[in-house]
Amino acid sequence: MTWQYNPRTAIVRGLRTPFARAGTVYAKLDALELGKIVVSELLQRSEIDPKDVDEVVYGNVIPSVKAANIAREIVLGAGLPRSIPGFTVSRACASSNTALTSGADMIARGYADTVVVGGAESLSTVPILFSRRFAEVLVAASRQKTMAGKLGLFRKLRPKDLAPDAPALAESVTGLTMGESAELMAKENGITREAQDKFALQSHLRAAKATADGWFKDEVMSFPVPPDYENVADTDNLVRADTTYEALAQLKPVFDRKFGTITAGNASGLTDGASAILLMSEEKAKACGLQPIGYLRSYAYAALDPFDQLLQGPALAIPLALDRAKLTLKDIDVIEMHEAFAAQVLSNIAWLGSRKIAETKLGRSEAVGEIDPEAINPTGGSIAIGHPFGATGARIITSVCNHLRRTGKQYGLISVCAAGGQGSAVIVERE
């Protein structure tokens, strides 16, 4: 099946907050605050009339229990016209990719011509829930009319009922965390610790160079951080310009302490941050005299059984997106793969280059294509820059578009793996 966008979706520009290690500069900000900051700055920089925005579509993985539809809350809280509707999407780490493709679908149908998309995550302020038993007692106590009745219920609680119930990074069906799943993938695909550390080093050194060379200046905003405005956030604080292969090689494995290869150094860290992209129909962007940073060419999502190799979704989504774009891997000028773990990127590369995988998983007779790990992620990736789940996809899409503009190249491919065994692939073009 061939597939084409009509009208074409222009990626007018993208912006993000600097990404920060959880518990640092944004420790007091939730995802909504971060989202409001980046969306209002994006609209100001874009110099469009906010009244022109038809919809806000926003990604978020760990939602607030008080404001679940973060997209609409951004409209209401960021001073946008209150007539703009908004909806929130979640596809785990591919949430802002999904926000972008949902916005583009509205444009392609002619239902909208200006859509703000993006995503935010605050791992500093994840909601910590009461245990089920404690919550039941609280609800029952609220219905009691007398203090004695309330106290009688509370007396039935045991100390273990008071333990908090934190959100898990574990898969519901396998019970394994992302890190444990990535460990299994490393073993099954023969990805060595050395290869992972080498890849992590490349991520940090490239991100540090891109930052120093000013490559992120159009896509990373700076701002005094509320609520006290004493610190200015102006750069990603997880990037380690001074890291070395030797330092990485000394770190202890975290998810399989005895035989494992994944460490704090070759995994993405827990991160806070937000991103946003302004999408328009090509016609509207031209009519407004705007120069888009790129155009959406195609996209695809795919999924595999989480009991298989959990984070290999991109290896299934990429060939679909290439087919839909009528391109092959050889046509792609820049590839950016989200780095949940170095082991996951290297495993996806191994699958894409495997004829056996093509035959057994894709129903194809030829491998999708060889990728040199040194040829991807030219400005570093999530290992160095960080990974605020809901925000990452839009960060990468913006970065790839800007990279194509800087280098004068034409096609960019973005992939993101996601919980539940899903993968996202997006192809963008410069002209």
Question: Which residues are near ligand COA by CB under 6 A?
Answer: 93, 169, 178-179, 204, 240, 243, 247-248, 251, 254, 264-265, 267-270, 340
Distance, CA of 217 to CA of 207 (rounded, Å): 13
Element (H, E) at 179: helix 178-189
Q: How far is the CB of 169 from ligand COA (least distance, A)?
A: 5
Q: Quick one: 268 or 298, whose CB is closer to ligand COA?
A: 268
Distance, CA of 318 to CA of 415 (rounded, Å): 7
> What contacts 169, CB < 8 A, 6 or more positions away?
177, 178, 179
Beta bridge partners of 299: 426
User: Positive or negative CA dihedral for 21, 27, 32, 36?
Assistant: negative
Q: Quick one: 116 or 418, whose CB is closer to ligand COA?
A: 418
Q: Quick one: 80 or 208, whose CB is closer to ligand COA?
A: 208
User: What is the rounded end-to-end Cα distance, in angstroms, of the chain?
Assistant: 24
Q: Quick one: 199 or 295, whose CB is closer to ligand COA?
A: 199
Nearest to 424 by CA among 325, 303, 343, 333: 303
Distance, CA of 244 to CA of 242 (rounded, Å): 6
Collapsing DSSP to helix, strand or coil, 97 comes out as helix
Distance, CA of 187 to CA of 253 (rounded, Å): 14
Type of residue at 34 = L
Please list the active-site residues. 93, 387, 417
Q: How far is the CB of 336 from ligand COA (least distance, A)?
A: 15
Q: Quick one: 342 or 404, whose CB is closer to ligand COA?
A: 342
Q: How far is the CB of 121 from ligand COA (least distance, A)?
A: 11
Q: How far is the CB of 228 from ligand COA (least distance, A)?
A: 25
Contact 340, 387 (CB under 8 A): yes
> What contacts 428, CB < 8 A, 6 or more positions away?
11, 294, 295, 296, 297, 397, 400, 401, 404, 411, 412, 414
Q: Quick one: 85 or 269, whose CB is closer to ligand COA?
A: 269
Pairing of strands 55-59, 114-121: parallel
Q: How far is the CB of 234 from ligand COA (least distance, A)?
A: 21
Q: How far is CA 266 from CA 168, 201, 346, 422, in A?
A: 21, 8, 12, 21
Q: How far is the CB of 377 from ligand COA (least distance, A)?
A: 15
Nearest to 69 by CA among 84, 88, 92: 88
Contact 26, 122 (CB under 8 A): yes
DSSP state of 160: G
Q: How far is the CB of 266 from ligand COA (least distance, A)?
A: 8
Q: Quick one: 9 or 422, whose CB is closer to ligand COA?
A: 422
